[in-house]
Amino acid sequence: MSSGHGQPPGPSTCSDFIVATRPHTVGIEPTTSRTDANALTVELNVLATVHSRVIRALSTPSAFVNRMKDASGKHLWQTAAGGRPTGRIDPNDQPIRPGDFKDPEQLRQLTCALLVRDFNLKLSLPYDRLCPIIPGRLDYCLWLIDVLKASIELTHEGDRVLVIDIGTGSSAIYPLLLSRLLKSAQMIATEVDQSSYDSAVRNITQNDLADRIFLQKTSSTDPSILPIGLITQNTSQSISITMCNPPFYNSQEEIEALRQKKDTPPEGACTGSEVEMIYPGGEVGFIEKMMRDSLIIGSQTRWFTCLCGKYTTLFPVVQLFKSLGGNNYAISELIQGRTRRWVIGWSWQHHRLPDDVARTMGPPGPRLKDCSQFLPPSNHLEYYMPLDVIVFGNRKTLADQITNTLELVEKSHFEQFHSDSSCSWKVTLYEKNWTRNARRKRKFAAAEASGPQTTTQDTRPGKRENGSDAVQLSDRNPILEVRLSLNAYHPTPRPEDRQVTKDESRIPPLKLYSSPSVIRPTEEQIGVKISSDWLFGQDRDLFLSFWNHVLKMKSVATT
């Protein structure tokens, strides 16, 4: 075990760390079996469900108190202290009541006990550094897992999950939690404060995680907040995601001014040091600096994220990102009891996140306006077709109509997926050739071409262009990827957790078939919903243009 100074036992450099940990990683390359690739997705799904219950169970002080006793009846902080009561006495010579969150010692012991109980993690917390409140930290980690899950599904590249935590703090709480939530993840953590760095070394070492968490000491004089040199010089693989819980305040005076504005005193004690809570320019200045730095390593990093403690931070940060030329970002609100936090993610790459990750907000609070003004544009589009206005010929299905439309789009390929109640297509396009202008240009080019010199391109899915010597479409960079879906439409969605009655269990699956006559609505199915999700692309106008093209199926008439 380390004495507290220096790097914990394990790889001595970042490059050694990457090489040493590679055998422990999860393969998700295209050549990897689908079972291996799905294993990580299953892990993400299960853990997100299980640990979201932990968040709900610990999100209020009363919930903490309810979990303060173990099976033997001991208070959890006594368990963390080896079964010994704290013996603390308040100024009135009375034993401190369990659940007194204004007592820093009880907060530290409770935090340590919860980590032992729920995550099998040992934690040592200095008296003069922040004590992490577990539900909020866990909530941030779970949102990161949602981003990772979506990124893995969208990219299918890389051989591991690599996370960078900027300013990990004395507890190294985020890498420790992620080590339990994602068994395959590798982490690089940075820390500028020597005392916090030494404490983080102890916490990583005593949990035997030095082979998965690489701790890097940084300096306040470094030109960048992000470890750019570490990434560009030692890391040949891409970074999956970065995370950061930045200092909130610009000065001690700002802390005091905000404290005086509060109607009620804080429920818990704050033991944070100046280096943890104060940065020139405050939270906005810190995130803006990080955002500018991220331009340098944007091609190597899939997603950058940062926690925001102030509602007023969102507007200037989003405006800066747009002014730098970015348009791919996400905002999510994390609510724990009376505490609200916001997490912002941004990417200089073109893989798009689903709306349930990139645009999640709780209801406005008593002092907070609607946050929707800061949200990114939706990556999900829907169109509803009542069955009594859908007319087909030749007894084709609506799925057939969509498939026929996709087959006519040149320089593209798609995969189709079926189930009893839905149908979907993953479409990849390499040229904008579905528009009327593009079709007109092709027609003129064909008319001007003459003789046997004209070549014919086979643009069917999976085929090569211009013979066997041509490059496969899949080897080219696409301009757009979307997922089209066709599902039953009910005017009143049934709650997912409601038990299905015997009558409902006999409802037939989605009827995608038509007849030459008008289809009348039924009690079970009012219509169908066509939806499109943007998976990849730089230009939103292309996404909207292709969506409109899909809706213009010539054999479908709507009123």
Q: What is the pLDDT of residue 27?
A: 25
In the chain, domain spans: 14-87+97-374, 380-439+458-551
Measuring CA to CA, how many Å separate 557 from each of 381, 398, 424, 519, 525? 20, 12, 21, 12, 19
The interaxial angle of helices 282-294 and 314-323, nearest 10 deg, is 20
Count the residues in the chain: 559
Taking the alpha carbons of 9, 13, 19, 25 in that order, is the dihedral positive or negative? positive
3-state SS class at 154: helix
> How would you classify the pairing of strands 301-308 and 239-244?
parallel
The whole-angstrom separation of Cα 559 and Cα 550 is 17
Q: Could you tell me which residues come within 8 angstroms of residue 172 by beta carbon, excluding any fewer than 6 positions away?
A: 165, 189, 200, 203, 204, 213, 215
In 454-526, beta strands by DSSP E: 480-489
Residue 486: beta bridge partners? 423, 530
The whole-angstrom separation of Cα 345 and Cα 150 is 13
The whole-angstrom separation of Cα 398 and Cα 164 is 46
3-state SS class at 170: coil
With tokens 């968040």, the residue in question is 55
In 400-507, beta strands by DSSP E: 412-418, 422-429, 480-489
Q: Which CATH number fits domain 14-87+97-374: 3.40.50.150, 3.40.50.1980, 1.10.1040.10, 3.30.230.70?
A: 3.40.50.150
In 281-338, beta strands by DSSP E: 301-308, 329-336
Residue 274, token pair as written in the block: 């100046």
CB 407 within 8 A of CB 553: no
With tokens 């189709």, the residue in question is 416
One digit per residue, pLDDT tens: the chain, 559 residues?
Answer: 444 344 444 555 554 544 343 322 222 222 333 334 444 444 444 444 444 434 444 444 444 444 444 444 344 544 444 444 443 434 344 444 455 556 777 778 888 888 998 999 999 888 877 788 888 899 999 999 999 999 876 555 545 789 999 999 889 999 999 999 998 889 999 998 898 999 999 999 999 999 999 999 988 888 888 988 887 776 567 899 999 998 866 656 665 666 666 656 555 555 555 565 567 778 899 999 999 999 999 999 999 999 998 888 999 999 999 999 999 999 999 988 778 889 999 999 999 999 999 998 877 666 566 677 889 999 999 998 876 555 444 445 788 889 989 998 988 999 999 887 789 999 999 999 888 777 777 666 666 665 554 433 334 444 333 333 334 555 578 999 999 999 887 665 544 444 444 444 433 444 443 333 333 444 555 778 899 999 999 999 999 999 999 988 744 444 3
Q: What is the pLDDT of residue 302?
A: 93
The whole-angstrom separation of Cα 511 and Cα 497 is 24
The whole-angstrom separation of Cα 464 and Cα 461 is 9
Residue 435, token pair as written in the block: 């528009």
Q: What is the pLDDT of residue 465?
A: 39
The whole-angstrom separation of Cα 226 and Cα 166 is 7
Three-point CA angle 72, 73, 78, nearest 5°: 95
The whole-angstrom separation of Cα 115 and Cα 121 is 5
With tokens 């820093």, the residue in question is 104
Residue 481: beta bridge partners? 428, 536
Q: What is the pLDDT of residue 389?
A: 52
